[in-house]
Chain A
Amino acid sequence: MGGEEEARAEPARNTGTDEPFVQIKGVTKKFGDVTAVDNVDLDIQRGELFCLLGGSGCGKTTLLRMLAGFEFPQAGTISIDGIDMSEVPAYERPTNMMFQSYALFPHMSVEKNIAFGLQQDRIPRSEIADRVHDILKLVELQDYKKRKPQQLSGGQRQRVALARALVKEPKLLLLDEPLAALDKKLRKQTQFELANIQEQVGVTFIVVTHDQEEAMTLSTRMAVMNAGRFEQIGTSTEIYEFPQSRFVADFIGSANIFEGRVVEDSADHVRVETDLCEIYINHGQSVAKGSQIWVALRPEKIYLSKNAPEKPGPNQATGMVDDIGYLGDTSIYKIRMDNGLILDVTAPNQIRPMSRTHAITWEDKVYLSWEPASAMLLNS
């Protein structure tokens, strides 16, 4: 569905004349009866940090392994920098991969792990020493070069793995869940480091991840994958603000989704009738009048108030507070609407709870409202 047309629409962003750096055309990979990757097309430009995002078993790792040359597609072609990779084995590809488990060689020191790739290219010894030294400096591990991988912490191992993949100056760096093995705090810090390093070295990165936050902070563009196909390809903002399918709306962030019928479709707005209320949308999405459709509304885009709005209109609803989840910086409110539906609403805790005299609490009657630009129409 989304995959093909999105990929074709995309290059407009770039200069347009040169062909894409990585080109995936009609690639299919089956393992027995299971289709891991199902006829996908994707273009990636030079210098991008592209994320493949999806749940486990969606085919993202298989696609990455096909780029690295560990798996070969049954149909379709992959080309990197204009060269068809169909007949090229992993050890001759201009790619390097950072493995989820890091795959550091346990019987070699940090230094030897990093030098391994350069030795395969028969680079003079003095140059190898220089390049290993430089890359160790980049990842700040100069003092650890004699250590064995098992003598390092998780974060250090991750940096060795990155250094080993980068030192060969690949045209394309493939990263399989690069941060998954780190604890949460280290992960957030490393996310920015990784993006910085990518900017410094200018290599095209393709990152596989199941963590939407990671994909959103890291990527210039991302593809959301589901069941071997692309649901949507775009920048973080495009995907968050304009999800095209229920799957994407639900997978990226959280969303209240309800069914409705389009009652008016004009150039600058759409009206949708739902059994909750009338929804008025003015951000230019357009759907034929009379069609049944899904509407998504992000929990943070809903205003919550104990006071009734000044004048009635669309994008307003009433309900009762069913439950509250206090997260510190924000709270999640579960609102039971008059029609029985439960909506999630998040609100920042700008006032300390103890001093809140007008705080919204359990069983309160509340008024919900949102901007005309907030709701999103889902195509499928």
Chain B
Amino acid sequence: MYGKRSRFLTIMLTLGLAFFYIPMLLLVIYSFNYSKLVPVWGGWSLRWYEVLFQSEEVWSAVGLSLRIAFVNATFATILGAFAGLAMVRFGRFRGRTLFGGMLVAPLVMPEVITGLSLLVLFITLKQWIGWPAERGFVTITIAHITFSLAYVAVTVQARLTGMGQSLEEAASDLGAKPFKVLTAITIPRLTPALISGWLLAFSLSLDDLVIASFVTGPGANTLPILIFSRIRLGLRPDINALATIIILFVAICVAIAAIILFRQQRREEIDHQLAQRENG
């Protein structure tokens, strides 16, 4: 687009990328540091990875976080999809504006407020009906669903609006009853939005520290809670190792997503070429 690549732009780009990635690079390098003190270089070693793999505490936190993230993503996707459908496809029902506002409120609500209010709710519930007996997996999952749902609903809403209604009308015109229209047309067409909604909900949950800290109980440490509590006691090299593994994991996920996207684009290109040939 630009005839000559501008020097200024190149420098700015380099600086920007450096700002993003140098910290991560440092973290990765220090995870291989033999020394117990993070900023002191003691030579290359896998020592902290060993420590990490032997730490039951870390693994139970990883397991808890993944379980919460999985259950949360699944429920948030189902509920969010229904909320999105209601907003876009049910026409004007009573309280639609209120419902729409309440649906997106968690997106703008400070996490501290969400966390605190949920904590109050759980405590009150315990007093009234004796449930939840103790806070942990269930309470964190419920808390995560309440805000992840909003993200899924927004994604689904955007997709539905963009899709238009004519495919669903066509199916109904061809004799499909409303439930069949949903399963045969709407859901298959929504799949990309549902997948991205699920992934978004999954990573939001994995990432969350604030809300989880409010609604967790003794002994239930998610990974972010664990990392944060350990960091408070000073930088530790085994946490660097853990972070490196997480970075690797995320990088692999992103690479897979990119490959899938690339393949899809190629397929679309081929379709387009085929259609062009039919025209000619």
A residues neighboring B (CB under 8 Å) = 68-70, 89-93, 95-97, 99, 101, 103-107, 116-117, 120-121, 147-148, 150-154, 156, 164, 168
Q: A151-B275, A152-B275 are in contact. Are A117 and B188 (CB under 8 A)?
A: no
B226 to chain A, nearest CB (A): 43
Q: Which of A69, A96, A105, A150 contacts B185 (CB 8 A)?
A: A105
Interface string of B100-134 (1 = CB under 8 A from A): 00000000000000000000000000000000000
The answer to whether B174 and A68 have CB atoms under 8 Å apart is no
A338 to chain B, nearest CB (A): 53
Closest to A115 in B: B174
- How far is A69 from B174 in the complex, measured between Cα atoms in Å? 12
Interface string of B183-196 (1 = CB under 8 A from A): 01100110000000
The answer to whether A116 and B278 have CB atoms under 8 Å apart is no
| Interface: B17 (CB within 8 A) | no
A361 to chain B, nearest CB (A): 42
- How far is A147 from B189 in the complex, measured between Cα atoms in Å? 18
Closest to B279 in A: A153
The answer to whether B175 and A91 have CB atoms under 8 Å apart is yes
The answer to whether A99 and B170 have CB atoms under 8 Å apart is yes
Which chain A residues border B279 with CB–CB below 8 Å?
Answer: 153-154
B residues neighboring A (CB under 8 Å) = 164, 166-167, 169-178, 180, 184-185, 188-189, 268, 271-272, 274-275, 278-279
Which chain B residues border A68 with CB–CB below 8 Å?
Answer: 169, 173
Q: Which of A93, A107, A121, A151 contacts B189 (CB 8 A)?
A: A107
B212 to chain A, nearest CB (A): 38
Q: Which of A95, A103, A148, A168 contacts B170 (CB 8 A)?
A: A103
- How far is A68 from B180 in the complex, measured between Cα atoms in Å? 18
Which chain B residues border A105 with CB–CB below 8 Å?
Answer: 167, 170-171, 185
Q: A97-B170, A153-B275 are in contact. Are A120 and B189 (CB under 8 A)?
A: no
The answer to whether A150 and B272 have CB atoms under 8 Å apart is yes
Closest to B184 in A: A116
Q: A120-B174, A120-B180 are in contact. Are A150 and B169 (CB under 8 A)?
A: no
**Can you list the 6 inter-chain pairs with the closest CB atoms, starting with the nearest?**
A117-B174, A120-B175, A153-B278, A103-B170, A103-B166, A151-B274
- How far is A103 from B268 in the complex, measured between Cα atoms in Å? 18
Q: A150-B272, A151-B274 are in contact. Are A117 and B175 (CB under 8 A)?
A: yes
Which chain A residues border B178 with CB–CB below 8 Å?
Answer: 91
Which chain B residues border A121 with CB–CB below 8 Å?
Answer: 175
Residue from A150, A154, A164, A168 having most chain B Cβ neighbours under 10 A:
A150
The answer to whether B274 and A99 have CB atoms under 8 Å apart is no
The answer to whether B174 and A99 have CB atoms under 8 Å apart is no
A306 to chain B, nearest CB (A): 48
A252 to chain B, nearest CB (A): 29
A356 to chain B, nearest CB (A): 40
Q: Which of B166, B185, B268, B278 contacts A101 (CB 8 A)?
A: B166
The answer to whether B271 and A151 have CB atoms under 8 Å apart is yes
The answer to whether B174 and A164 have CB atoms under 8 Å apart is yes
A3 to chain B, nearest CB (A): 27
The answer to whether A91 and B176 have CB atoms under 8 Å apart is yes
B214 to chain A, nearest CB (A): 43
- How far is A124 from B184 in the complex, measured between Cα atoms in Å? 19
Which chain B residues border A97 with CB–CB below 8 Å?
Answer: 169-170, 173
Which chain B residues border A90 with CB–CB below 8 Å?
Answer: 169, 172-173
Which chain B residues border A91 with CB–CB below 8 Å?
Answer: 172-178
Closest to B280 in A: A153
The answer to whether A116 and B174 have CB atoms under 8 Å apart is yes
Q: A120-B174, A168-B174 are in contact. Are A99 and B166 (CB under 8 A)?
A: yes
Q: Which of A106, A153, A168 contacts B175 (CB 8 A)?
A: A168
B178 to chain A, nearest CB (A): 8
Known interface pairs A150-B272, A153-B278, A168-B175; 18 further A-B residue pairs with C-beta atoms within 8 A, sorted by A's residue number:
A91-B174, A91-B177, A96-B173, A97-B173, A99-B166, A99-B169, A104-B170, A105-B170, A105-B171, A106-B189, A117-B174, A120-B175, A147-B274, A150-B268, A150-B271, A151-B274, A151-B278, A152-B278
- How far is A105 from B268 in the complex, measured between Cα atoms in Å? 15
Interchain residue pairs with CB less than 8 A apart (21): A90-B169, A91-B172, A91-B175, A91-B176, A91-B177, A96-B174, A99-B166, A101-B164, A103-B166, A103-B169, A103-B170, A104-B170, A105-B171, A116-B184, A117-B174, A120-B174, A151-B278, A152-B274, A153-B278, A156-B278, A168-B174
A205 to chain B, nearest CB (A): 15
Residue from A90, A95, A150 having most chain B Cβ neighbours under 10 A:
A90
- How far is A233 from B274 in the complex, measured between Cα atoms in Å? 44
- How far is A97 from B166 in the complex, measured between Cα atoms in Å? 11
